[in-house]
Chain A
């Protein structure tokens, strides 16, 4: 399956999951499902976590529905499991929780990048070629721990870390720029010694090209995205950070995604 088809399938699944679970964060999941589809397609389902050449760490743990739906689409978790999302007694929580092919639980922001620095440093010291991909949100750039890690990663020359920022310009209550201004965001990361690229976060080829490019410093993509992407009535809306669709909204959303296939 092409990553674009994985993304389309995963959007439908994520919508179904949050509808069934009546859970939040569908906008955040739709925002990054294209990025997640490209990232998780690099994981080999037949190899254990330790043996993977590519490690995906999702720092915006609230996009759990997006992560689990994509993982099911690429065969990393069984399809039947996603129907247990947020169900009593199940292990698929509303924030990413460690399990098969997930080595780090997240949900509190600003945790995955420092952890990735530790993993990437270890790989360097042990002479391993492993690549570490970290998906962070733009609102998450408010967290000081990310900037601590940004300083350290560039000081240590960790060219085996690639970060993608899901730059949808929306955070919990309003736009990132009206909350705590992030722009000029690229300049900030450049000033911290990172190799920065701007790209379209829904363009799979652009994401692939970013991941494949070599660099001598840690690399970051500021991936322009649309929160709620693919479902017009959810796009660019803070409301869908919290709401879950009802049955008729779910049908409308799925129809729209399938119509645009």
Chain B
């Protein structure tokens, strides 16, 4: 998805001379073409995330639309106060892109996990948080980001995701990958873990259990709709901590609207962070994969 994003930015940068790509010395094999083609709209700040974010604020207040690109923890936690004070408090038009959501860089160890970013980012004033599941969703997210002149945060999986399910009424908020008439059970996912939710739904379908699957690329209570949740058992799945992420958004929405909805969240286990492994391995170990989703729904149905 990172290649898709940068290629898309490059195609937009031809006509829009205000698009400006900043990187904190990351993006090998991804950002070079952009730099070559648009040297005047590019800066590698070096390994200096605090300065990078301050620079982005300065560029934004000079008319540019900075896109700040780095890996999971670097353009978020490393420079959080710059995001809060310099970008959000001034409502500057800065888009932060964190590559490596969840366990995308699982084998690199927990310094590189992207698993606590959603609540931190969505607590900031004016900040919109996006977590697309695939390139199709990403395109809508990019369009949405270009329309909103304020702080934005996109968490992206490192790799590409090949969800090809048909989607009705695509937008940057909630996408429905499986719709079922009168279904009692809905699965909500954010990011590429959506594929595990779809796999689980397909397994359940073989057993005659029909469940809905919704993706939430715009991680906000505002993206949800009452009819998707009312009178249902809802499972949320995220490659992220259960504190403050998708589960919390759904729970806040249910509480605010006083819905008759039971919500159960699947998220990462904070006691097992020292354990390394591939994304696939870690999803299984943290019980957020298709099998875990399937088991949880089976427990509920039986």
Q: Which residues of A contact B (CB under 8 A)?
A: 98, 103-108, 110-111, 113-123, 125-126, 144-145, 148-149, 151-152, 155
Question: Which single residue of chain B is at the shortest CB-CB distance from A122?
Answer: B62
Q: How far is the CA of A145 from the CA of B86 in the complex (A)?
A: 13
Q: How far is the CA of A110 from the CA of B60 in the complex (A)?
A: 19
Taking a contact as CB atoms under 8 Å apart, the answer to whether B50 and A117 are in contact is: no
Question: Which single residue of chain B is at the shortest CB-CB distance from A113?
Answer: B54
Taking a contact as CB atoms under 8 Å apart, the answer to whether B54 and A115 are in contact is: yes
Question: Which single residue of chain B is at the shortest CB-CB distance from A143?
Answer: B50
- Among candidates B63, B66, B86, residue contacting A115 with C-beta atoms closer than 8 Å: B86
Q: Can you identify 6 A-B contacts, CB atoms within 8 angstroms?
A: A104-B61, A110-B50, A114-B54, A120-B58, A121-B43, A151-B46
Q: How far is the CA of A152 from the CA of B61 in the complex (A)?
A: 19
Taking a contact as CB atoms under 8 Å apart, the answer to whether B61 and A103 are in contact is: yes
Interface size class of B (residues with CB under 8 A): 20 to 34
- Among candidates B40, B45, B57, B89, residue contacting A125 with C-beta atoms closer than 8 Å: B40
Shortest distance in angstroms between B220's beta carbon and chain A's nearest beta carbon? Answer: 26
Question: Which single residue of chain A is at the shortest CB-CB distance from B81?
Answer: A108
Taking a contact as CB atoms under 8 Å apart, the answer to whether B86 and A104 are in contact is: yes
Q: Which residues of B contact A (CB under 8 A)?
A: 40, 43, 45-46, 48, 50-64, 66, 81-82, 85-86, 89-90
Q: How far is the CA of A116 from the CA of B86 in the complex (A)?
A: 11
Shortest distance in angstroms between B38's beta carbon and chain A's nearest beta carbon? Answer: 11
Interface centre among B55, B56, B90 (most CB of A within 10 A): B55
Shortest distance in angstroms between B91's beta carbon and chain A's nearest beta carbon? Answer: 10
Which residues of A are found within 8 Å of B66, using beta-carbon distances?
A: 118
Taking a contact as CB atoms under 8 Å apart, the answer to whether B89 and A105 are in contact is: yes
Question: Which single residue of chain B is at the shortest CB-CB distance from A123?
Answer: B62
Shortest distance in angstroms between A217's beta carbon and chain B's nearest beta carbon? Answer: 17
Q: How far is the CA of A125 from the CA of B60 in the complex (A)?
A: 13
Other contacts beyond A114-B82, A148-B51: 16, CB < 8 A: A98-B89, A105-B90, A106-B85, A113-B54, A114-B58, A115-B55, A115-B58, A117-B54, A118-B57, A118-B60, A118-B62, A121-B43, A123-B62, A144-B50, A148-B46, A151-B46
Taking a contact as CB atoms under 8 Å apart, the answer to whether A116 and B90 are in contact is: no
Q: How far is the CA of A126 from the CA of B63 in the complex (A)?
A: 10
Q: Chain A contact residues: over half helix, strand or loop, or mixed?
A: helix
Interface centre among B51, B53, B57 (most CB of A within 10 A): B51
Shortest distance in angstroms between A16's beta carbon and chain B's nearest beta carbon? Answer: 29
- Among candidates A122, A126, A155, residue contacting B58 with C-beta atoms closer than 8 Å: A122
Shortest distance in angstroms between A96's beta carbon and chain B's nearest beta carbon? Answer: 11
Taking a contact as CB atoms under 8 Å apart, the answer to whether B50 and A145 are in contact is: yes
- Among candidates B55, B63, B64, residue contacting A117 with C-beta atoms closer than 8 Å: B55
> Given that A105-B89, A125-B40 are known contacts, is A117 also in contact with B51, CB under 8 Å in the complex?
yes
Taking a contact as CB atoms under 8 Å apart, the answer to whether B46 and A111 are in contact is: no
Taking a contact as CB atoms under 8 Å apart, the answer to whether B89 and A122 are in contact is: no
Which residues of B are found within 8 Å of A121, using beta-carbon distances?
A: 43, 55, 58-59
> Given that A144-B50, A145-B51 are known contacts, is A117 also in contact with B85, CB under 8 Å in the complex?
no
Q: How far is the CA of A10 from the CA of B278 in the complex (A)?
A: 63
- Among candidates B40, B53, B63, B90, residue contacting A104 with C-beta atoms closer than 8 Å: B90
Shortest distance in angstroms between B69's beta carbon and chain A's nearest beta carbon? Answer: 15
Q: How far is the CA of A151 from the CA of B55 in the complex (A)?
A: 13
Taking a contact as CB atoms under 8 Å apart, the answer to whether B85 and A118 are in contact is: no
Q: How far is the CA of A105 from the CA of B85 in the complex (A)?
A: 7
Question: Which single residue of chain A is at the shortest CB-CB distance from B57?
Answer: A115
> Given that A98-B90, A115-B86, A123-B62 are known contacts, is A152 also in contact with B50, CB under 8 Å in the complex?
no
Which residues of A are found within 8 Å of B64, using beta-carbon distances?
A: 122
Which residues of B are found within 8 Å of A126, using beta-carbon distances?
A: 62-63
